[in-house]
Amino acid sequence: IEGPRFGTKAESQLFRQWNGDVVNMSTVPECVLAREAGLCYAVVCMSTDYDCWREGEAVDIQMILKTFKKNAEKVKKLLIQTIPKIKHEKCECMESYKTAIIGGE
């Protein structure tokens, strides 16, 4: 789902037919643009709610914001532990822009 928005019931049913377990709205086009720019890019996803297919459990923005706030605390801890472990050396991401755009350099 290209967000920020809630998915439609039709989209939800399609993902269920595909046996999808998770629907995400925050990784494309960002990951593609990062690669084209030669940037190293990682994603931390946070589940906030069930999709609209689940009967009797409507998506409520207040519930989502409450869950998002709890998840944000978990992500802060994760980043504090993880960032110091990142190796700052060249990788293939930095060169990917050469083949990501038609025509190259």
Tell the residue number behind the tokens 């755009």, with chain if given: 101
Mark whether 49 is an active-site residue.
Answer: yes
Residues present in the chain in total? 105
Q: Per the residue annotation, which of 7, 23, 51, 52 is the catalytic one?
A: 51
Q: Closest Cα partner for 57 from 27, 3, 24, 12?
A: 12
Mark whether 21 is an active-site residue.
Answer: no
Residues 6 or more apart whose Cβ sits within 8 Å of residue 67: 47, 48, 49
Structure tokens, 13: 């049913």
Q: Per the residue annotation, which of 40, 49, 68, 93 is the catalytic one?
A: 49
Do 50 and 57 touch, CB atoms closer than 8 A? Answer: yes
**Positions marked active-site:** 49, 51
